[in-house]
Structure 1
Amino acid sequence: MSARAQVRAWRPGLNGVVEVLHAYFPSHAYPSHTHDAWTVLLVDEGVVRYDLDHREHDQSRTQVSLLPPNVPHDGRSVRPEGFRKRVLYLEPDRLGTDLTGAAVDQPELLDPVLRRRIEQLHGVLAVGQEPLEAESRLTLIEERLRQYLRRQTPPARLKDPGVASDLRDLLDARLPTGVSLDEASKLVHAHPAHLVRAFSREYGMPPHRYLTGRRVDLARRYLLEGRPAAEVATLAGFYDQAHLTRHFRRMLGVTPSAFAKP
């Protein structure tokens, strides 16, 4: 019998951290998606391979990966036994959007001190009884991440994505209700075909896939608040619970109920 995925996810009472995820995936492969948060990733077992902004990266347990908000990435195991990981999702303003380019160009950090500090923070958050210690450890982690990113910041990455950025802002504002391509083209003042091509070129996925991924992201937040899956499906913009479950399982490898299970 093949091993089953194991997931523990929760929202800690720590300002700046929107989600903590501990997971083991024996076979799941993440499709391309984005988050509205900084992703601080540790791999504890196995090796993870992922594409970030069309470039391939590998991560083992000696590294820390820092994936910036709103940049598409996927993920899969290099080895047949799968991988085990721990993730912190940080609010986007904790590190600054001006540092996105540096993280895209060099997301892997070979920094034993940083990794040890992140492991310590995970231990504190898993118990959930020492808020001052958690705040202190997060502050040191963020300081070290910002120092690293500022050393790496390439000026050429700072650019205006134009209509693609406008459409992303519109999709983010309309997550539950959605928006038709015709309406979006009128609001953004661009031909629908040009809008799709520009968005896909800038973010590595078509607008509909981005919207679905962001809705799954929103569903995660509601599930961690303790809301039932049927209610979450409506709040996050899915047709029904089955629709939510299909996309949630495709994205995360587990059902909504398994994801939010205590």
Structure 2
Amino acid sequence: MGCMFRTRRVYETDALNVKLSYYGPGLGMGAHSHDFDQVSFLLGGGLSEGHGGTSREMHQRGIGLKPAGFEHDNRYHGRDGALILSINLRPGADAALAGLGPDDWHWSPDAPPDRMCELHALLAADGDAAGDAVADLLARLGPGRKTHRTSPPAWLKRIRDRLDDPADPAGIAAIAEEAGVHRVHLARVFAAHYGVAPTAYRLQRRVGRAVGLLATGSAPGDAAAEAGFADQAHMTRCLRRQTGLTPGSLRRFLLAA
């Protein structure tokens, strides 16, 4: 797929700008900082972000916060790269925009339906409507669900590896049985460590795979098959639900960048 980067500006005012960016697998950025507060929505794929010897890793849809001046590094790892919508807030430009504190570095799973509806509205809007959608998103910022800080057990990591593989057709119940754990226990432990249920995790990873394929010009039908979807219609429904875009519109958006 190559180390590629594509970005498009979605919305901008004197106080903020919003960008949709695709980072190809293998891309990374060394230690750096921004002169703006940043709210990032990981819509597909995965990333790791480091600071002071500590790392935050995301393999499914999530939200990240970073204050202005916060030094960090990034890696867009794995097979799929990452599709990220970022809201960059200029400190002091608008009194209504609450600034982030120096300790507000945060990444967490993020899947509230109302927040995703607001993201979809932003991607589809312009002018005042886009500004309203950004304001609604920022107004809802808050702590995400807590996950375990301990390392996941080896058997759980093996299951996550299987869910990452689009060529593995086994159902979640069959995977749990093979691992010798109850399906409900698997769901609870998986969500506790990774912040999302196994079924949703697999679906989000398939969407991430499809995003990477579409970003490099794959036809929607081919992307659906390679990402592990039942058919193109299934991929279209899932991609639109997660990113607010159809395969065709996402492909045109990224290839035109």
What's the TM-score, normalizing by structure 2?
0.49
Write 1 or 2 for the structure with the bigger share of helix.
Answer: 1
Give the TM-score normalised by the residue count of structure 1.
Answer: 0.48
